[in-house]
Amino acid sequence: LRRFNLPACEERITSIFMSLLEVLHFSEFVHRRGLDVARTEVNTVYTTGFPSCPTWNELIARRWRCRHVNVFSLAEVFGQALSCDKCGAYHWDPFSVVEFLQPGTLLPVENGLARLIITTLYPYTQLMPLARYDTGDLVVVNRECSSGPGFIPLGRRDNAQRLSDGTLLP
């Protein structure tokens, strides 16, 4: 609730970026002590780690009285994908080239099950650029959102079950 004076910064905290569990624990911690985090000027809470369920999304948004955004990221790739308020899928930021390829044939996928492939771009990854990096993730692609191509993570390809006809079941 205190103001601060830092050059080129807001005078109050307007965004929180934590793991989902940290936000849930912190929210409960301050709530039990009678503090109202909704009185702050936080307008967006970003959570990472794993996607949260609708119940937790609603709890965070209600407790903080602000927008809640799930974040999908990878340790080895600069950049992230944010959950979309319109379609519910994730949209990757513009610092990388994202491709969605069929799990078996590696042909491009317009909609449906795909492998997530990422190429990182200069100047953010000068030391170790990744060209067509296969993340090992299976996703469902949705290209019908006005925000651009989106995806929903299903899990690791190595953990999928291969059916007798050769298709993968996440």
| Model confidence pLDDT, tens digit, residues 76-118 | 887 889 999 889 899 998 878 899 999 888 999 999 999 999 9
> What pTM did the predictor assign?
0.80
Residue 47 has pLDDT above 80, yes or no: yes
What CA–CA distances, in Å, run from 19 to 55, 92, 107, 123, 148? 16, 18, 34, 27, 26
The whole-chain average pLDDT of the chain stands at 86
Q: How far apart are CA 15 and CA 65, in angstroms?
A: 12
pLDDT classification of 1: cutoffs 50, 70, 90? low
